[in-house]
Structure 1
Amino acid sequence: MSARDLAVVTRFSGRLFWRDRTALSTSVLLFLGLGIGLPFMMDKVRPGHPEFLLNQHLGVLAMVLVLTTFNQIAVTLTARRDQLVLKRMRTTGLSDPAILGGEIGSLVVQSTLLTAVVSVALYSLTGLPAPRDPLLYLVFVVAGAAVLCLLGTAFTAIVPRTELAAVMAMPVFFLAGVGAGGFGPVLEILPGWVGTVLGLLPTGAVVEAAQAAYAADGTLAGDLRAAAVPALKLAVWGVAGLLATARWFRWETRRS
């Protein structure tokens, strides 16, 4: 896989994404609307509680990140598979890793930019402070987005047709929201083991690392220790996604 091929597919995927009105409304607008709107509303309901606001922000961020990564790539790749776009792309000389890597790279870049927009908006409109360690925050947003995209790519193997992709991917959105606290303190009324299981999701790793990035009394050594477990979780999910994609990903519909 050459860097040039990867860049070509990334640009191609990005252009198609920004021309797709459905993708813009279900991905970008929801990301911005929920990512900014819910924490902003909670800040007005409970002003002067920065810890509550931070938890709400990170929970919603983890939830909407699933929309622009896992859900979006599942819909996109299923549609291009069923329309035989992926099959035609393989005949151009592009390698399989370049095709999938470009699709993933495009959504990772877009998700990271949307996260930046949401974060800056909340820093300006609410009492949410900026992270003490923005690099740690950025690294885990990018890594989490990449892993979620990879898992969404593997997920397309069980999606029979394009019309069902969004519906079948939606449970991941809800589970991520519940586990990260995006829907509020739902876990408090559920058995303890539910929170433990949902905490193993990639979004749980992103939230854990982000909390360390916001910790006021953190140090470099403390950040590295705090990032170790979330990094391990993402690495395990990433390897699982790679293996599942290599084994089961389909380049064309079964009906062809």
Structure 2
Amino acid sequence: MSPTRHATDRFTPGTFAPRPAPAPAGKLLRSQAKIETLLFLRHGEQQLVSLVIPVGMLIVFSLLPVTDLDNPVDEIFPMTLGVALMSAGFTGQSIAVAFDRRYGALKRIGASGIPTWALIGGKVAAVLAAVVMQLVLLTAIALLLGWRPDSAGILPAAVFILVGAATFTALGLLLGGTLSSDLVLALGNTIWFLLMGAAVVTVLDPDMPRIAEDALGLLPSVALTHGLVDASNGSFTPVSLLILLVWGVAGTLAALRWFSFTMDRD
């Protein structure tokens, strides 16, 4: 045999079966996405912040006389949708990733042969699946409460939903992939509460001073909420979209730079 001939050339193809080989990229991504989605749906705390709380806010603020809005559901529905997106992408992913790192799950998954892009892609797909579920449920409730969408706002709303989900997923991966699990658990919930509070107060308080509204508008949760509220009324807010994109790009670049699949100390 020639010295340059490979050892595998000694046998004709098909001599040994099965022939192990990496699964096709599409199958890898679908399998990982299914696992990540099931894990997300089984996590009680994530369902609380991503579904139960937004649904409760939608019903309470729309039916009870707690606001001065003429038709509350028109403003409350897009606000609660923004809160739900932020919960699934930011809080859910940051906590899940942090504890996966703590117990070595990410390290073991990587050792099993799953490439990094499939792991991250599976988590993004899980967030998108949660977003679809949130959108269907909240929209159905809003329609029952009297919300009537403007067809001109469907495309802007879709853009804000996609960009918002990607932005908060990137921020969640950044937080969960850089800090200890205990710190992420406390900090993630605190940040979520503050971002939600900022979004809620800008919607429920139309008499807020302009300087305070502009300052809060720089936060990603407020930018997403404003974009969805305007889309619900049939208009598009490019400034809010730009703010979301800046947060999303910054979060993605930071996560690529500092994200760690292992946790040396906790």
Q: Normalising to structure 1: TM-score of the pair?
A: 0.81
Is residue 2:250 matched to residue 1:240? yes
Structure whose residues are more often helix by fraction? 1
Alignment CA distance shift 1:109-1:50 (3 Å): farther
SS of match in other structure, 2:126: helix
Is residue 2:239 matched to residue 1:229? yes
Show CA shifts across 1:107-129 (max 9, x none): 222123212211211211x1222
The partner residue of 1:5 within 4, 19, 28 is 28
Aligned length: 241
Counterpart position of 1:130? 149
Show CA shifts across 1:171-228 (max 9, x none): 3222222222269646856x6544323212222232232223222xx4xxxx5xx243
Identity of matched residues, %: 22
Q: How does 1:71-90 map to 2 (within 5 A)?
A: 71-90=91-110
Conservation of the 8 A alpha-carbon contact between 2:28 and 2:114: yes
Counterpart position of 2:140? 120
Alignment CA distance shift 1:170-1:54 (3 Å): same
Q: How does 1:67-106 map to 2 (within 5 A)?
A: 67-106=87-126
Counterpart position of 2:226? 208
Alignment CA distance shift 1:34-1:99 (3 Å): same
Structure 2 CA distance for aligned equivalents of residues 82 and 130 of structure 1: 44
Conservation of the 8 A alpha-carbon contact between 2:167 and 2:244: yes
The partner residue of 1:168 within 173, 187, 190 is 187
Conservation of the 8 A alpha-carbon contact between 1:43 and 1:53: yes
Structure 1 CA distance for aligned equivalents of residues 84 and 215 of structure 2: 20
Conservation of the 8 A alpha-carbon contact between 1:69 and 1:148: yes
Amino acid aligned to 1:201:
L
Conservation of the 8 A alpha-carbon contact between 1:179 and 1:195: no
Is residue 2:45 matched to residue 1:35? no
The partner residue of 2:162 within 142, 150, 154 is 142
Is residue 2:173 matched to residue 1:153? yes
Conservation of the 8 A alpha-carbon contact between 2:36 and 2:123: yes
Counterpart position of 2:5? none
Structure 1 CA distance for aligned equivalents of residues 131 and 70 of structure 2: 25
Conservation of the 8 A alpha-carbon contact between 2:177 and 2:261: no
Structure 1 CA distance for aligned equivalents of residues 173 and 253 of structure 2: 11
Structure 1 CA distance for aligned equivalents of residues 259 and 136 of structure 2: 31
Conservation of the 8 A alpha-carbon contact between 1:105 and 1:146: no
SS of match in other structure, 1:246: helix
Show CA shifts across 1:11-33 (max 9, x none): 11112223x3xx23x22244333
Deviation at 1:144, TM superposition (A): 0.6
Q: Normalising to structure 2: TM-score of the pair?
A: 0.78
Alignment CA distance shift 1:228-1:16 (3 Å): same
* Unaligned 5+ runs, structure 1: none
Structure 2 CA distance for aligned equivalents of residues 239 and 144 of structure 1: 12
Counterpart position of 2:263? 253
The CA RMSD over aligned residues, in Å, is 2.8
Structure 2 CA distance for aligned equivalents of residues 154 and 192 of structure 1: 32
* Unaligned 5+ runs, structure 2: 1-23
